[in-house]
Chains A and B, each alone.
Chain A
């Protein structure tokens, strides 16, 4: 088998991948039939994924949460304060999708507000750039009032200026077990730069064709 040693350039990775595949098979040993079939079908592409996983860019977002490239995730589930659900729903209806505050933060990719369990709990989930601590600091310095208008709907919200606010968020945050970002290197700022550049190139090409 002398010829074969030349092709696997990273033998350590290969055995690591094989071990992972073995672990997967074990995990799925008591899975429904559908899943076992799915696993066997998906194995070839899973193996190449697992090989790349050695060079994975998934990391920590700092204090809590995970990050892929420059983009991190924050997921909070917390109970509503009495009357909070009604108040927040009305505020969100009045705002009608216009979160000018979100743009001011400058590192926010997207965010959602979801009401759960008959309006007793809410889910707040965002995708943002960088590390957890500076992100929360940005909210506190750039849109403190918007934060308090919205988050005062939740039980025990200490106020964005309170020294306890980060503890409150950490206490209610659930770090994701899996996080995928299609363009992990695309920060909000870089997206803005690329849109700008794309427009300039289009204009330039238009002029050339005039």
Chain B
């Protein structure tokens, strides 16, 4: 079988659309009624999605990427008193994450306290690959990182050289990731906002 190794690592792609639809029906044979009905009603649109080429990409070491935008999602256990401290800190900041602006590749990020304040869920959308993204945090805003992450168990410190591995150890890669404008980086957004403003000013002057 000398020809098979080339295709063997991507067997899913060899499924035809009909086979995929068939597989969906099999999967949903034992689904709740709501799911079964939805599958039948939604088949036309679903078939379109199933027929499209793969839009799934990786963010390097871990995580998914779509176009230029990647996802990172970590669950970090709080140290004793960590939840209270971080909550107080976030309340004082009141939504002003100047440090994140300084990184320049962050689209959004959320801090969610889960399981009765025992864990922090941190999830972000960012540009590019995992490794340079974490490096950016380490070089551009190490203090802000330490202030925030010292509240979580086992955090080695942003300057220790071990922070990247620690984040990786706590990251759970998404099974699926959708981005509305996959080619719009944070930098390109800043450029377009400038262009938009300039065009409006120009039109005002002409008018």
Contact = CB atoms under 8 A, between A and B. Distances in A.
Contacts of B114: 77, 174
Contact of B81 (A30, A115, A152, A201): A30
A137 interface: no
Name which of B23, B42, B176, B181 has the most chain A CB atoms within 10 A of its CB.
Answer: B176
Contacts, number: 294
A42 interface: yes
A140 interface: no
Given A75-B110, A148-B35, A152-B35, A42 B143 contact: yes
Contact of A182 (B45, B107, B176, B181): B107
Interface residues of A, number: 94
A123 interface: yes
A115 to B, nearest CB: 6
A95 to B, nearest CB: 5
Nearest to B146: A38
A100 B49 CA distance: 6
A88 B36 CA distance: 13
B38 A96 contact: no
Nearest to B202: A201
Interface residues of B, number: 95
Given A97-B55, A102-B178, A180-B100, A116 B172 contact: yes
Contacts of B50: 94-95, 98
Contacts of A45: 98-99, 144
Contacts of A176: 110-112
Contacts of B93: 46, 49-50, 53, 178
A53 B31 contact: no
Contacts of A99: 49, 176, 178
A45 B27 CA distance: 53
A110 B147 contact: no
Interface in B100-122: 100-101, 106-114, 121
A66 B111 CA distance: 11
A146 B85 contact: no
Interface of A: 20, 23-24, 27-28, 30-32, 34-35, 37-39, 41-42, 45-46, 48-50, 52-53, 56-58, 66, 68, 71, 73, 75, 77, 81, 83, 86-103, 108-116, 123, 125, 127, 143-149, 152-153, 157, 159, 174-183, 186, 188, 191-195, 197-198, 201
